[in-house]
Amino acid sequence: MINNIIGKRLLVMDRTALAACAVKRAKELGLYVIVANFYKTKDSPSKQVADEAIDIDISNIDAMLELIEEKKIDGIFVGWTDSHLPFYAEICRRAGLPCCGTTEQFDTLSNDKRKFKECCKKYGVPVPKDYKLSMEFRLEDLATIDYPVIVKPADESGSRGIRKCANEGELIENFTWSYNRSKSKQIFVEQYIDSPQEIFLHYTIQNGVYSLSSAFIKYKAITENEAAASAILHMFAPPQIEWYRKTVEPATVNMFKNLGLKYGVVMLQGFLKDDKFYFYESGLRMGGEQFYVFAERLNGVSALDLMIEFSVTGEMRSANVKALDNPHFSKSCCNYYVTLKPGTITEIRGIDEVSRMPQVLQVATFKDVGNVIDPTNSLDRVIYRLHVMDDTPELFAKTLEKISKKLRIIDENGQEMQLEEITYDRALQMATFK
């Protein structure tokens, strides 16, 4: 228990199932939690578990300030949604409440991929090669491009909007498609890194000290034709951690220091190919994979608890992050994304039994009966995200196979919807990073 926050009043703006976890934890820590957003309670998991739920548009800064004064709010927790961050920064600034970033910091590390990339270049953090291109499709620009490349809007996240292009025709088609759906009209053309090793790193920042809290490798589901598709597993504590720390971390920490980051959680996402890292995205916010679920069990430190404490006090005093953190988790840990084939969910079986398994630490639910799954490669195809932990890779592999067999998600034609049902051999391969 963190004694100096008991009884304080926390405002949560995020509506999601992830935010609901934060609301529950804040209440356990003794805070009174108000959730405010424009979603009705039935559409906001976080409102459903709050002490108080208020319908309000968080982009209405003046209304939010009136709410903060009326409800005597001690701090704001924003959570996982990038689009909320500019409002969070401005509301905190005007209300005089703690904030883990400035508008410029959030812009660079969460909302503007172009600014992030330029910042990385400035401080020597490696990034994929990028190419200049506009809707005019100038011949001199097209002539500089080495294929394959990807195009992606600067204002998308969660793997949405990304398209691979093998030639000029595909590039023009996909660039036009991305441009037409982008609000910012800023489209990246970037070197395609052909590597299965996609790595994510999370730092917890405590009073200007930057501590690597976790790392994981992303594995994708294998479809019927053996093509890589949506994420299925985030496997923690890969052996690549030490190579990253030796070759890139000094530049990363220098970048954070020069950006002036003092408190918070920041994520880096990239690829490793031929012993070289290529980072292409970041986020100054809590990570959707909730690494702290494992870190609290194994290392005794929770970034969620620290961020709740910071939100209402402006400090993190309840734990010494640098002393406790260890990204080399001592057990096999993963986020298992139960990813679905296209169709309509008509029946779900086995989730209650899976939730009671001791190896399943947490279940986040994103879809339910009646929801339609579209044929995308984004996280929109995920019905559950399970935090799974077991003592050894072998036991872990058995557990994953058991979970996959117990779960039955049935479509309108009576067919199983899991994109890939995990076998023991496949699970062991991922658990040992082979």
DSSP 82: G
With a CB cutoff of 8 Å and minimum separation 6, the contacts of 136 are none
Residues 340 and 363 in one domain: yes
The domain that holds 27 is classified in CATH as 3.40.50.20
Contact criterion met (CB below 8 Å) for 125 and 256:
no
Other CB atoms within a 10 A radius of the CB of residue 249 amount to: 18
- Kindly report whether the global pTM for this prediction surpasses the value 0.85: yes
3-state secondary structure of 382: strand
Determine the Cα–Cα distance for residues 35 and 56; give it in Å rounded to an integer.
10
Identify whether residues 386 and 346 lie together within a single domain: yes
Q: Please identify, among 143, 158, 191, the residue that sits at the C-terminal boundary of a domain.
A: 191
Q: Retrieve residue 373's tokens.
A: 């799954």
- Residue 116 inside a domain? The answer is no
- Pair 251, 383 in one domain: yes
Instruction: Quote the tokens at residue 272.
Output: 């490793």
Last residue of a domain, one of 154, 171, 191: 191
Bridge partners (DSSP) of residue 389 are 333
Pair (235, 345) in one structural domain:
yes
Q: What is the CATH number of the domain that holds 157?
A: 3.30.1490.20
Looking at the fold, whether 394 and 255 belong to one and the same domain comes out as yes
Whose CA is closest to 113, among 121, 353, 211, 67? Answer: 121
What phi and psi values does residue 173 have, to the nearest 5 degrees? Answer: -65, -50
Supply angle C-alpha 166, 168, 169, rounded to 5. 95
The pLDDT, as a whole number, for residue 3 is 87
Q: Indicate whether 107 belongs to any domain.
A: no
Q: Can you say how many angstroms the Cα of residue 207 is from the centroid of all Cα atoms in its chain?
A: 23
pLDDT, one tens digit for every residue, the chain (434 residues) = 788 999 999 999 999 888 999 999 999 999 999 999 999 999 999 999 999 999 999 999 999 999 999 999 999 998 888 889 999 999 999 999 999 999 999 999 998 888 999 999 999 999 999 999 999 999 999 999 999 999 988 766 555 667 889 999 999 999 999 898 887 788 889 999 988 899 999 999 999 999 999 999 999 887 644 444 678 999 999 999 999 999 999 999 999 999 999 999 999 999 999 999 999 999 999 988 899 999 999 999 999 999 999 999 999 999 999 999 999 999 999 999 999 999 999 999 999 999 999 999 999 888 999 999 988 766 788 999 999 999 999 999 999 999 999 999 999 999 999 999 999 999 999 999 98
**Residue 291 domain-assigned?**
yes
Confirm whether 393 is domain-assigned: yes
- As a whole number of angstroms, the distance between CA 76 and CA 312 comes to 7
353 shares its domain with 418: yes
Per the structure, the complete domain to which residue 181 belongs is given by 129-191
Q: The tokens of 340 are what?
A: 């679905």
Contact 8, 31 (CB under 8 A): yes
Number of domains in the chain: 3
Strand, coil or helix: 45: helix
Q: What is the DSSP string of 252-292?
A: HHHHHHHHT--SEEEEEEEEEETTEEEEEEEEES--TT-TH
Q: How many residues does the chain have?
A: 434
Q: How far apart are CA 61 and CA 59, in angstroms?
A: 6
Q: Which residues contact 205 (CB under 8 A, 6 or more apart)?
A: 100, 211, 256, 261, 262, 263, 264, 265, 266
Domain final residue, candidates 173, 191, 209: 191
- 261 and 311 housed in the same domain: yes
| pLDDT for res 226 | 43
The CATH number given to whatever domain includes residue 214 is 3.30.470.20
